[in-house]
Structure 1
Amino acid sequence: MAPTKAPDSSRRSDRSRRAIHDAALALVTEVGYRRTTIEGIAARAGVGKQTIYRWWPSKAAVLMDAFLDLAGRAAEDAGAGSGSVGTGEPAPGIPDTGDLAADLKLVLRATVDELNDPALEAPTRALTAEGIVDAKLGAEFVHKLLDPQLALYVTRLRAAQEAGDVRADVDPRTALELLIGPLMHRWLLRTLPLTHAYADEIVDCAVGGLAPRA
């Protein structure tokens, strides 16, 4: 008689975590952050509340972890050169073809696509809004989700400075805000559609202002 194989606890744990992640993201998309509860997540995932509290201290922590996992999968699917300010896992880097405007347009267009993706939009908005009133969550949101992406812009802009395409006196961190700020402003306020054409216009305006003066 063959020996009975013991259940793989790590595999079961991974399945439970993924179910909780999926449940948290689904509920935030369907009912919003405020109406999403630990009880609701547990029921949707088919686990007990104690399982969730064993791994996460709060609803915000569950959503943060779920979104980081989602962002990581999205970055893997998108491949090199896509990167976004809205998702957590950075792409390998912003491409450097020698054409700064073209490289930035490629990345900002990918960011537009991610911000318009319903699967990413709701949790991104929830974390952005909650991070404003919850200082700890806001700091974690910046550290884990924003800073890795913004660092890619700094690296590409510094390379452009070395190539003579951006003025030496420009602070790359300030320069990247000329690119990201308008995009996020339109997305947050929903004033006008967020499109590739708008992303291209932002890049053209920003790069024109950053270029060396005659």
Structure 2
Amino acid sequence: MASRTAPDPARRSERARAAVLTAAAELVAEVGYGGTSIEAIAARAGVGKQTIYRWWPSKGAVVFDAFLAASEHEGSLALPDTGDLAADLRAVLRPTSDELADPGADRTFRALLAEILNDPALHAEYRTRLLDPLLEATRDRLRKAREAGQLAPGTDLDLAIELFYGPLNYRWQFRLGPLTHEHADRLVDAALRALAPPAADGGSGA
């Protein structure tokens, strides 16, 4: 008599988890963050609400996980290192500008940011899983640039990070102007001028 293989609970749970994340991403794209509910996510994913709450404490936590899964941010935050610091930074800020300029993504990011700022648990998740790894990856790239003499010897790496990312987020948050590749390039150029090593004294004494 043929033996039967018992269902694998772990595999079934992983399928359900993936279905929830897919449903959350689809609903946010279709009706926006505000129009998305735990009930709607559960119905589309074919799971019960209690299944969702077993893994996530809130709608914001589900959508944040869906955002990470869709954009593949986890595990891929290292900055390029071609030896050309300006080019490497542009390669980060240009696609970031494109993402923030997308109307659908803009609505989701703004709603999710509000949740992150008002939910301490979600804020901790955001710091641990996305923001802190991104800052550390950027800090590592800038440290290498400082060691290579591309930045001033005493460059404060945390302040340098703020010079690159801060103005872009400020422009996006307050809708101060379009987010373009030209703007991203200007940010990189301005920050690198401020952080450049002192010019060598090329003068000769009389």
| TM-score scaled by length of structure 2 | 0.84
1 or 2 for the larger relative contact order (CA 8 Å, sep ≥6)? 2
Q: How many residues align?
A: 199
The residue number in structure 1 matching 2:140 is 155
Q: Which residue of 2 aligns with 1:185?
A: 170
Find the counterpart in structure 1 of residue 91 from structure 2. 106
8 Å contact 1:94–1:152 — kept in the other structure? yes
Q: Which amino acid aligns with 2:35?
A: R
CA contact (8 A) 1:179 1:206 kept: yes
Which residues in structure 2 correspond to 1:14-53 (within 5 Å)? 14-53=14-53
Write the distance in 2 (CA, Å) between the matches of 1:23 and 1:103.
35
State the alpha-carbon separation in 1 of the partners of residues 18 and 107 from structure 2. 18
| Residues 55-64 or 154-163, more deviating | 55-64
Deviations 1:84-124 (CA, angstroms, capped at 9, x unpaired): xxxx4253622222221111111212322333456754443
Matched ranges for 1:75-86 at <5 A? none
**Residues 95 and 118 (structure 1 numbering): CA distance in 2 closer, same or farther, change over 3 Å?**
same
CA contact 2:164–2:188 (8 Å) conserved in 1 = yes
Farther-moved stretch of structure 1 (58-67 vs 163-172): 58-67
Partners of 1:54 and 1:140 in 2: CA distance: 16
Which residue pairs with 1:83 in the alignment? none
User: 1:162-199: CA deviations, max 9, x gaps?
Assistant: 11111122211111111111212222233322121111
Equivalent residue for 1:211? Answer: 196
Residues 159-178 of structure 1: pairs in structure 2 closer than 5 A: 159-178=144-163
SS in 2 for 1:154: helix
Paired residues of 1:131 and 1:141 also in contact (CA < 8 A): yes
**C-alpha distance in 2 between matches for 1:156 and 1:59:** 35
Q: Return the letter of the residue paired with 1:208.
A: R
**What's the Cα RMSD here?**
2.2
- Partner Cα separation in structure 2 for residue 54 and residue 92 of structure 1: 29
**Residue 160 of structure 1, CA deviation:** 1.3
AA aligned opposite 2:123? G
**Paired residue for 2:183, among 169, 175, 198?**
198
In 2 relative to 1, CA 177–19 (structure 1 residues): closer, same or farther, beyond 3 Å?
same
Matched ranges for 1:137-156 at <5 A: 137-156=122-141
Identity %, equivalent residues: 56
2:159 counterpart letter in structure 1: T
Q: Which amino acid aligns with 2:144?
A: A
> 1:132 corresponds to which letter in structure 2?
L
Instruction: Tell me how far 1:143 sits from its aligned partner.
Output: 2.2
Q: Distance in 2 between matches of 1:105 and 1:19?
A: 35
Distance 1:162 1:13, change over 3 A: same
